[in-house]
Amino acid sequence: MAVFSAPAFDAHEHVAFRFDPETGLKAIISVHNTNLGPAVGGCRMWPYENDALALEDALRLSRGMTYKSALANLPFGGGKAVIIGDSRKDKSPDLLLAMGRFVDSLGGLYVVAEDVGTTVEDMDILAQVTKHVACTSEGSGNPSPYTAMGVFEGLRAAVGHKLRSNAGLEGIHVAVQGLGQVGFALAQQLHDAGAKLTVADISKDAVTRAADELGAVPVEPNSIHAVAADVFSPCALGAVLNDRSIGQLQAGIVAGAANNQLAEDRHGAALAARGILYAPDYAINAGGIIEIAFKGEGDEAKMEDHVRAIHDTLTDLFQRADAEHLPTNVIADNMARERFMMAA
């Protein structure tokens, strides 16, 4: 299996592999860059078809964390861990303890958090054998409320930049895709700010609740991206901005929580070519990682200020994209790279 010539390899500092014969643990920890601080990122447990796909995911996701933390002005580098296995069948306390020892063996180079296939309770188990854990039930817990707060601020910045200079949301029409932990909290904040909501979710209960509590208008999940709204807010799936959907968008702004919204990087340019302002996903959804950074300090107000600063980061980013005539996703990468490269 290629490492240095793997497609997602990008000058990663450290990639470690661990097999534990007693528990069957097969895991990879990928540390992309630690110029700004320890590499923080989630531990994903997924039944990868083969080892190369697991490595690819670890390399790609750890790189993404470097950019996300740098753009959010956090003293963190980027890392990610993957456990190869089915979290519903293969996870056991012993396997998690073995993973904790693996994390510990890196001596703090990597700090682990929950991700797809792992939970806050799993992090409590890892914390029995390593102190390099974020997101335990005693530390920072569910980050979704802060993610929603940051997305709200980023959406406000986008509206302020493209539609109104006073940045108010009264009467602004937002189409929210996905009413889960982040999407519903965001919809509540938008409703409180006077926005008009159209929503979709594959869960009928979530849609009914949004209609009852927030006066939201439901549409079918397969048409939410094409609603004639001011803002399309993807808060469910990745790759929603693709060759098919971009031509169907009617909103002038895309600003939502979902990770990896662009199917490919070139779709950032496709949005710009249509005059659609895109709030880059890792810039707008950084509230959760900001919570991890500040929770230990116990200063809630300072943490909220940092989350709310996503508004100004995005305003800077949009202005720079206009000045340099480049897509916003390219500017986000450039701004993040400048920060972590300058810290070298």
Residue nearest to ligand NAD (CB): 180
Binding mask 121-160 for ligand NAD (x = CB under 6 A): ----------------------xx--x-------------
CB of 104 to ligand NAD, least distance (A): 26
H helices of 139-274, in order, are 144-162, 181-192, 204-214, 243-246, 266-273
Nearer to ligand NAD, 102 or 282 (CB): 282
Binding mask 307-336 for ligand NAD (x = CB under 6 A): ------------------------------
Which of 134, 159, 187, 257 touches ligand NAD (CB under 6 A)? 257
Tokens of 123: 């992090």
Which of 56, 57, 201, 230 touches ligand NAD (CB under 6 A)? 201
CB of 191 to ligand NAD, least distance (A): 17
33: region left, alpha or beta (phi > 0 left; psi from -120 to 50 alpha): beta
Decide if 83 contacts 43 (C-beta within 8 A).
yes
3-state secondary structure of 89: coil
Nearer to ligand NAD, 25 or 122 (CB): 122
Q: Which stretch binds ligand NAD (CB under 6 A): 44-52, 120-128, 201-209, 309-317?
A: 201-209
Which of 1, 53, 228, 237 touches ligand NAD (CB under 6 A)? 237
> Is there binding between residue 179 and ligand NAD (CB under 6 A)?
yes
Which of 29, 31, 135, 236 touches ligand NAD (CB under 6 A)? 236
What are the backbone dihedrals phi and psi of residue 300, each rounded to the nearest 5 degrees, phi first?
Answer: -60, -40
List strands edge to edge, sheet with 196-200.
217-218, 196-200, 173-177, 231-234, 253-254, 277-278
Which of 200, 210, 249, 336 touches ligand NAD (CB under 6 A)? 200
Contacts 24+ apart (CB under 8 A), 332-337: 332/67, 332/71, 332/280, 332/282, 332/283, 333/67, 335/71, 336/66, 336/67, 336/68, 336/70, 336/71, 337/67, 337/70
Between CA 39 and CA 51 the distance in angstroms is: 22
> Is there binding between residue 203 and ligand NAD (CB under 6 A)?
yes
Catalytic residues: 80
Nearer to ligand NAD, 97 or 153 (CB): 153
Tokens of 272: 């710009």
Tokens of 237: 């799936």
CB of 287 to ligand NAD, least distance (A): 7
Decide if 102 contacts 16 (C-beta within 8 A).
yes
Nearer to ligand NAD, 272 or 290 (CB): 290
CB of 269 to ligand NAD, least distance (A): 22
Which of 47, 139, 141, 180 touches ligand NAD (CB under 6 A)? 180
Which of 47, 221, 242, 309 touches ligand NAD (CB under 6 A)? 221
Decide if 31 contacts 109 (C-beta within 8 A).
yes
| 339 sits in which H/E element | helix 328-342
* Residues binding ligand NAD (CB under 6 A): 143-144, 147, 177-183, 200-203, 206, 221, 235-237, 257-259, 285, 288
